[in-house]
């Protein structure tokens, strides 16, 4: 069996050539300069996966607003993907506008996405990749648990702000129990810096300073 490899945070996303419902793609090359989210689902024509596709599509305007592209994937044939997308349109009145990859076992193994003990079904993986092609966040859910799309949107939004502003985000941002929607300023590395932080920023201490965006 081919070795299963899970890309690590900060690694370049593995180069792959794939077939999708919108034509062939090369990743991450075809997405260079743009954030993208690759998410896998165990199988077409399954209830939980259908709710997830509906959830992702509903948030497409929000992802578009921040320049993030979505790509679905499972180990199903293109014809199955197309038929399922048709079914979703006809029965749920939801038009799936993002491409869906027809993967194979080798590709799933390359990304560490096969579910242990569950045959060839892929886990519910989420890979958030930045414009440079680096993997920035990974989420893995078992087959039994559907994902929270609002959390995925929150996470990629937080990553973009963190990169742009050089800050860190508190738990449950933008609704943190301690500092609300404010963001955390990385602490200084010198005694002089610590003294300056006490005067310059609000916070609980120099190592826990924060500000509004």
Read off the pLDDT of residues 142-179 as tens digits, 9 standing for 90 and up.
Answer: 888 999 999 999 999 999 999 999 999 999 999 999 99
Confidence tier at 5 by pLDDT (50, 70, 90): low
Please tell me whether the overall predicted TM-score, pTM, comes out greater than 0.85 for this model: yes
- Can you give the pLDDT at residue 63? 98
pLDDT at 32 over 80: yes
**Above 60 in pLDDT, residue 44?**
yes
Q: Which CATH superfamily is domain 16-165 in?
A: Glutaredoxin (3.40.30.10)
Using the predicted structure, report yes or no on whether residue 120 has a pLDDT greater than 70.
Answer: no
CA distance 205 to 72: 44
Tell me if 101 sits within 8 A of 72, measured CB to CB. yes
CA–CA separation, 81 vs 100, rounded Å? 7
Residue pLDDT, tens place only, 65-117: 999 999 999 888 999 999 999 999 999 999 999 999 998 777 777 777 665 55
pLDDT of 110: 75
User: What pLDDT shows up at residue 2?
Assistant: 46
Q: How confident is the model at residue 208 (pLDDT cuts 50, 70, 90)?
A: very high
pLDDT at position 114? 64
Cα–Cα distance measured from residue 95 to residue 92, given in angstroms and rounded to the nearest whole number: 9
Q: What is the DSSP letter of 106?
A: H
Please give the pLDDT value at position 118: 55
Q: For the chain, give every domain's residue range.
A: 16-165, 166-213
Between CA 38 and CA 41 the distance in angstroms is 10
> Which backbone phi and psi does 74 adopt, to 5 degrees?
-160, 170
Domain with residues 166-213, CATH architecture:
2-Layer Sandwich (3.30)
pLDDT (0 to 100) of residue 196: 95
Known catalytic residue: 49? yes
Q: Is the pLDDT of residue 1 over 60?
A: no
pLDDT of residue 95: 98
Using alpha carbons, list the distances in angstroms from residue 13 to 32, 107, 138, 198. 11, 13, 11, 40
* Residues whose CB falls within 8 Å of the CB of residue 34, separated by 6 or more in sequence, listed in order: 67, 68, 69, 131
Rounded Cα–Cα distance for residues 97 and 108 (Å)? 23
Strands 68-74 and 35-40, sheet pairing: parallel
From the candidates 49, 129, 153, 183, give the one annotated as an active-site residue: 49
The reply to whether 16-165 and 166-213 are identical in fold is no
């Amino acid at each position: 069996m081919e070795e299963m490899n899970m890309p690590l945070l900060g690694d370049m996303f593995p180069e792959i050539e794939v077939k999708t419902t919108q034509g062939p793609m090369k990743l991450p090359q075809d997405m260079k300069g743009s954030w993208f989210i690759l998410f896998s689902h165990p199988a077409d024509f399954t209830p939980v996966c259908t709710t997830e596709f509906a959830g992702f599509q509903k948030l497409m305007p929000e992802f578009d607003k921040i320049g993030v592209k979505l790509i679905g994937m499972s180990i199903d044939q293109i014809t199955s993907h197309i038929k399922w997308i048709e079914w979703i349109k006809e029965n749920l009145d939801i038009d799936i506008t993002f491409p869906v990859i027809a993967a194979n076992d080798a590709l799933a193994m390359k990304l560490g996405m096969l579910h242990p003990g569950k045959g060839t079904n892929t886990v519910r993986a989420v890979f958030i990749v930045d414009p440079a092609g680096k993997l920035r966040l990974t989420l893995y859910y078992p087959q039994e648990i559907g994902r929270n799309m609002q959390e995925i949107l929150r996470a990629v939004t937080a990553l973009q702000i963190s990169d742009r502003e050089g800050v860190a985000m508190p738990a449950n941002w933008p609704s943190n129990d301690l500092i609300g929607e404010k963001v955390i300023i990385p602490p200084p590395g010198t005694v002089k810096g610590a003294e300056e932080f006490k005067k310059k920023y609000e916070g609980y201490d120099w190592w826990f300073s924060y500000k509004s965006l």
